[in-house]
Amino acid sequence: FRLLLNTMSGEAKNKILPAEKLRLITLDRATNWISSKAWQEINLFSRIYKETSTTAVNVKVWSPPFSGVNDTDRVTFSEAVTQAYEEVEIGTEFGPSWSCHWFDVTITIPAEYEGEEVHFIWDNSSEALLFNEEGLPLQGFYGASGNDRRAEYVLTKSSTGAEKYHFYIEMCCNGMFGNPANGGFLFAPDPSLKFPLKLAEVKVVDRLVWDLYYDFVVILGMAKELSAKSNRAWQASTCIERMLNSCFLDDRDSLLKTREIASQFLSQKNGASQHMVWASGHTHIDTAWLWTYSVTRQKVARSWSTQLKLMELYPDFKFTASQAQQYQWLKEGYPQLYTEVKKKITQGSFYPTGGTWVEMDCNVPSGEALVRQFLYGQEFFQREFGSYSTEFWLPDTFGYASQLPQIMQGAEIEYFLTQKLSWNLMNKFPHNSFHWEGLDGTKVLAHFPPADTYCANGNVNELVYGVKNFKNKGVSNHSMMLYGMGDGGGGPQMRMLEQLKREKDVDGLPKVKLETPNHFFDTVAAEGGLPTWVGELYFELHRGTLTTHSEVKKQNRKSEFLLRNLELLETIALMCDGKYAQSEIERLWKLVLLNQFHDVLPGTSIEAVYVDTRAHYSDVRESAVKLLTDAFARISLSKGDEIGKGESESVVGTGPAFMNTLSWKRSEVVETKGGRYALVHTPPFAAAHVSSHASLSQSVSVTQSETSVVLENRYLRAKIDTSGRLVSLILKEGEGKGEHRECVAPNQFGNVFRLFENIPLFWDAWDLQFFHLDKSKELSGGNLIPDSVVDTPLFASVSFTIPVSEKSTIKLTVSLTAVSPLLSFKTDIDWHENRKMLKVEFPVDVLASEATYSTQFGSLKRPTHKNTSWDIAKFEVPGHHYVDLSEFGFGVSLLSDCKYGYACLKNVIRMSLLRSTKMPDSNADMGKHSFAYALYPHTGTPTEANVVQLGYQFNSPLVPLTQQPEVSSLGVPELLQHSLLTVFPNNLVIEAVKKAQHTSSIVIRGWEIAGGRGRGKINLGGRLARRVAGVRRVNLLENSVETTDIRQRSVHKLCSKYPRRYTRHCRR
């Protein structure tokens, strides 16, 4: 009440009626009566524990060696219990940050505690895990003063007065949100923090006071949160006043009377039409964020063991947990606890959900990577728990791609849950329950919990707000609440369950049911009448995550394509010797998927996390290359029939050879040993030697003057000035007829590097606010002298060094080959900035109200104008291989090999290159970077111009086989001389060729690129065709959907818009 008055004008104060003032004063009085901070010596809160003993607890400690934050070799329980422990005193400090310390704890319950409920209180100022003598984790602890605090462990509900307990506690020197320096939330970690042991004692609970306390909490919440004009709010206020006046702390009879008053109020039930809140216990555990993967393994054990303890105390408690990776970690590191979790899953109180390997980012991973998230996640749930997940659970990811509904359906998932769009800065998302329709028309049922959090406390405020905020009133009468501490784990607490127990069915509040998500979704699905949202779920915040930590995004893209190539070559080798490196390929995929977690791939984790990711990507790269070499050797040793007798190129000779891993033929200039250039023509899914010569009609030239350099081939004429800018780019539409088209907008330059000030409002590594566009400068080196010019018949380039600042420089190489319509830009940057962002811009001579962006298994159009607030909010959007701006008959595409942040405003195509954020990683993006992009002017539509195919080619170069000894001695192996398979028409793209998960069948996965429908055909190569016993269409989990038409050596199938075709070719 005092706070309210302080914020009001004198006139407003006078309008408060005396009765309302008295009511508000009563509520303030009640707040103090149950406060842990005000009047804590004499109020009700102070009497929850009536006895305390410090002498009943004996503590000893052992501190193992510690090698740093990235130490993954943590001490196990079996190792810890064999060590020599020493006496320790309360107040002793432990450290440094991230180290772990083990305590041997013996508790002897005093005889005078007979018949009492006794709690063990432990506070080591950081996270900790309690074990019994057999090594079973019992519960997590967290010493803090906020809502995350969990210091009590229930030893017994009724003591005999003679119990003895022997525990071990692993203390970990980190807070729930890592170890930020100076106590700041997102500051980079301080490696030298210390954590004191504060409490080790037992307390006796006064159960009557405990129960009365939570009666006060709930009824006071109703008095505060219900409308002051409502009858029920006044009833609650009156009840609170009666309770206060009847409650004398030293009089047990008065406490019982006060409880009776509360029970009478709380026993008044709801009507049948009241809204139902389905409350599911949950703890969102970031697989890495302000801590490393190794710390998360411990967080999972702490959080989930705590939930098992709560299930023991509250039999109707239901808990939901996602991420197969975390279950796998629990299985590996805490097998006893994992066994107990599986028991609770069988009983229905612990509910596995999500269906994916981790809760991944959905903007950056490729379509195939998203497929593998579901494939490996659902496989794990089916194998370990006997069923697939029916919900895609992603409460904290920064946007949701438009192809997800079809991918979900292909993974046998019906429902989707998130709440992140409630954080939108500009536009409020209009629904809570709705059907989400993807690119191909697939629909799934989606729900956004209206409390706008995945870390609810189960209190009255959240229930009341959730009902008010629910946007589908009149259509649906059900919503979800996810309660429990999260991000750093922790989960539900006794205080939450005590409140929810009282809120289940009380007049004035929505009804509450403690239940698992599947029951909620099944109920809502049966209601019908829900609205539909079509297309992507764009998140109007955290747009900087499309660019931050660009190296991890680059390595992700390279790894995705590398594993694609590996699976193709392993599949060909499988047909030679029946062997396939399935377990190793799966291991590598899971490393890539792990690093797609929504705080790792977006670049929002601490520096130590990226030490781990670099090691993972190095492992993927080295292991995959080794497997590729082995697969090629096995193919080379194979004799007999060729794979196919269709498309092929000359294989005679001993020169360099290259493999085409894409599903269409390619003619490209390649660089061979010694820096020489050659032309190679490769069929789909086959290899060829380089051509011995190139015709004069396929050449490129360089013309250099004092002010510019001109690169020209049969398709393009590019003029670059001495600042590295694109002065002119001519598309030769009708060669020899004088029909040329200028691509650069009049009086402007292309390839302009622009440096923006990038200081967001709060979320440093995450955010890119609209106002950053108002403050920038063009980088221009003036009259630069080219560093080098390469002029050969097949390849030409010019290089410049462009200063960014005194600390940072750009090495730019612009190139053109004889046979490519792409003008390529290779960019090497030494980057050392602070809160700056680097972008490259291309003003093009195109008029279009929409731009086309590459996305997973498709493309989508977004506006190039600011007509509505929804348009304005999309000033930075995700894209994959390309963005295209086209008008009728002509367009320009910008291709990238590893960038994801784009924008098209009017006629300007802009791509984000680098950021320089300092929180939570003070060294994010600092150092050397190398990446490439290309400009592709074209006639016709993007589909007619094969933009999708060129985007794949730009990201998947021909694979050199030169280093294989078999090539130089035998030529290209017979099995690689002809196409493994070919497809028709050209709007079908083969995404993956791999061995099936559980049989020796081969899976071919493809997609339609143009958004149309028709009949497609896959022509099988000779050896492959002869081994086919049958063909079935399967879903993402490789479960049969239907048989498919086979005509001789071809597979025919009707294809619709952006279809996912999962065709399994069964071997005899």
Pairing of the two strands 882-887 and 959-960:
unpaired
839 is written with which tokens?
Answer: 């972008």
Q: Are 880 and 855 in contact (CB under 8 A)?
A: yes
Q: Are 824 and 815 in contact (CB under 8 A)?
A: yes
In angstroms, the CA 80 to CA 334 distance is 14
Q: Are 691 and 668 in contact (CB under 8 A)?
A: no
3-state secondary structure of 771: helix
Bridge-partner residues for 657, per DSSP? Answer: 689
Which of 322, 282, 279 lies closest to 480, judged by CA? 279
Marked catalytic residue, from 148, 206, 396, 884: 396
Query: What DSSP character marks residue 411?
Result: T
User: Hey, which bits of 979-1055 come out as E strands?
Assistant: 981-984, 988-995, 1002-1008, 1014-1020, 1028-1034, 1040-1043, 1045-1047, 1050-1055
In angstroms, the CA 244 to CA 212 distance is 11
473 is written with which tokens?
Answer: 């009133």
Containing 574, the helix (H) or strand (E) segment is helix 550-577
3-state secondary structure of 258: helix
In angstroms, the CA 117 to CA 50 distance is 11
In angstroms, the CA 1051 to CA 1049 distance is 7
In angstroms, the CA 1037 to CA 89 distance is 56
Nearest 5°: phi and psi at 465?
-60, -40
User: Hey, which bits of 109-209 come out as E strands?
Assistant: 117-123, 127-131, 137-142, 152-156, 164-172, 195-196, 199-205
In angstroms, the CA 309 to CA 131 distance is 12
152 is written with which tokens?
Answer: 């009590």
In angstroms, the CA 917 to CA 837 distance is 9
Looking at 595-731, list the stretches that DSSP marks H as alpha helix, in order from N- to C-terminal side. 607-636
Contacts of residue 343, defined as CB under 8 A and 6 or more positions apart, other chains included, come to none
Contacts of residue 868, defined as CB under 8 A and 6 or more positions apart, other chains included, come to none
980: left (phi over 0), alpha (psi -120 to 50) or beta: alpha
In angstroms, the CA 865 to CA 862 distance is 9
Which of 318, 385, 304 lies closest to 520, judged by CA? 318
Bridge-partner residues for 165, per DSSP? Answer: 107
In angstroms, the CA 51 to CA 294 distance is 39
Containing 462, the helix (H) or strand (E) segment is helix 460-469
Torsion of CA 711, 716, 722, 723, to 10 degrees: -140
Q: Are 419 and 448 in contact (CB under 8 A)?
A: yes
Q: Are 1007 and 1018 in contact (CB under 8 A)?
A: no
Question: Active site includes 396?
Answer: yes
User: Hey, which bits of 289-425 come out as E strands?
Assistant: 319-321, 350-352, 391-393, 415-417
Query: What DSSP character marks residue 180?
Result: B
Starting from the edge strand earliest in sequence, which strands make up the sheet with 877-878, in order? 776-778, 752-757, 836-843, 908-914, 901-905, 877-878
3-state secondary structure of 860: strand
339 is written with which tokens?
Answer: 């066994």
Q: Are 903 and 853 in contact (CB under 8 A)?
A: no
Q: Which residues are catalytic?
A: 396
